[in-house]
Amino acid sequence: MTKLKMLMLLFVSVLCMPAYAQDLYPNKPIKFVVPYPAGGVSDNSSRAIADRLGRELGQTMIIENKAGAASTLSSNYVARAAPDGYTIYAAPVSIVINPVLQEKVEYDAQKDFAPISMMITSAFVLQANLDLKVKDLKELLALIRANPDKYAIGTSGMGSINHLAAEYFIKNFGLKMAVIHYKGGAPAATDLIGGRIHMMFSATNEALPLVNAGRTQAIAVSTSKRISSMPDLPTIDEASGTKGFDAVFWLALLAPAKTPEPVLRRLESAMQVVGADQALRDDLAKKGVDLHVSTPAEVQSYMQRDGAKWGQIIRELGIKE
């Protein structure tokens, strides 16, 4: 073989290396960033999905819990990560809320990430103190309207998604009532049981044990569809006879922008297999969340819709963290 032919073969092989490397994706462990501390329902759900995704891809998923600034720390981190498919993100709904709620973030939710699939959705349960003695949402609304400014709804903190759900509820039904903020769902639930607040939107996993023990009354679920863990509980729309009420916590799987298309397609196809795993779906339902695998376009739709809806409420009320 002449030197010229050898040089030409070497040149061609070098040109083919990136495509070959992408064809082999993934060929090393993948970092799976979770924006919450270890142990909570979002972390546990992310770990369950990451484990199943890793088995489908044939690689280890390294969970990196990077909590801080209501998920902004993680969002900033992933936005700056190498776009090679070896850093992916369990991004929460706050990725589109924080740019409005916080003074400064270092990312653009629409430009700095590549959507792969939705991961989970988690409804809020509107639960009430037993002393209100209402049997459904219509009776609760009538009671609040007949007694303006008498009743209080609790939240797990200013700017939290269940705070925004409460404000959305008040605005949607034209109610006059106090909004009381707590440092977390647990102290709010304690005051709900004790009657110091009268109702709250609680994460499903937090509401279930209280409702099942008969300590609070479940009124309705905040999502547009009923949820698997409480199938007999009507939605806000069903219970009120209205249309369009939807308040949901979600996690979506994102990668840094400019991640190569073949890598994104591989992750998308693997997530479709994850979504068909009934054992995983059943396990997550026990945690109070619903497995929700989707197209990248649906992720974009969730981000645009919730960014606009919650952003409008935050601006109207002047909410700041």
If one counts every other C-beta atom within 10 angstroms of the C-beta of residue 301, the result is: 14
Query: How confident is the model over 260-302, as pLDDT tens digits?
Result: 999 999 999 999 999 999 999 999 999 999 999 999 999 999 9
pLDDT category, 2, cuts 50, 70, 90? low
Q: Does the CA dihedral 49-53-55-56 come out positive or negative?
A: positive
Mean pLDDT along residues 120-145: 97
Contact partners, residue 279, CB within 8 Å, separation at least 6: none
pLDDT band at 228 (very low <50, low <70, confident <90, very high): confident
Q: Which residues pair with 217 in a beta bridge?
A: 128
Residue 144: partners with Cβ closer than 8 Å, 6 or more residues away? 150, 151, 175, 176, 177
Which residues, 6 or more positions from 278, have their beta carbon under 8 angstroms from its beta carbon?
none
Task: Return the minimum-mean-pLDDT range out of 7-16, 139-148, 236-245.
Answer: 7-16
Q: Which CATH superfamily is domain 123-240 in?
A: Periplasmic binding protein-like II (3.40.190.10)
- Residue spans per domain, the chain: 28-121+249-317, 123-240
Q: Which residue has the higher pLDDT, 2 or 130?
A: 130
Residue 320: per-residue pLDDT: 84
For 170-215, the three-class secondary structure string (H helix, E strand, C coil) is: HHHHCCCCEEEECCCHHHHHHHHHHCCCCEEEEEHHHHHHHHHCCC
Question: What pLDDT does 321 receive?
Answer: 73
What's the whole-number mean pLDDT along residues 135-151? 98
Task: Find residue 306's DSSP bridge partners.
Answer: none
- The mean pLDDT of the chain is 93
CATH topology for 28-121+249-317?
D-Maltodextrin-Binding Protein; domain 2 (3.40.190)
Would you state the structure tokens that stand for residue 70, as one six-digit string?
């209501």
Q: Indicate whether 53 pLDDT > 90.
A: yes
> Three-class SS of residue 155?
strand
Q: Indicate if 123-240 has the same CATH topology as 28-121+249-317.
A: yes
Could you give the dihedral angle defined by the CA atoms of residues 117, 122, 124 and 127, in that order, rounded to the nearest 10 degrees?
A: 170
In the predicted structure, residue 16 carries a pLDDT above the cut 80: no
DSSP conformation class of 293: -
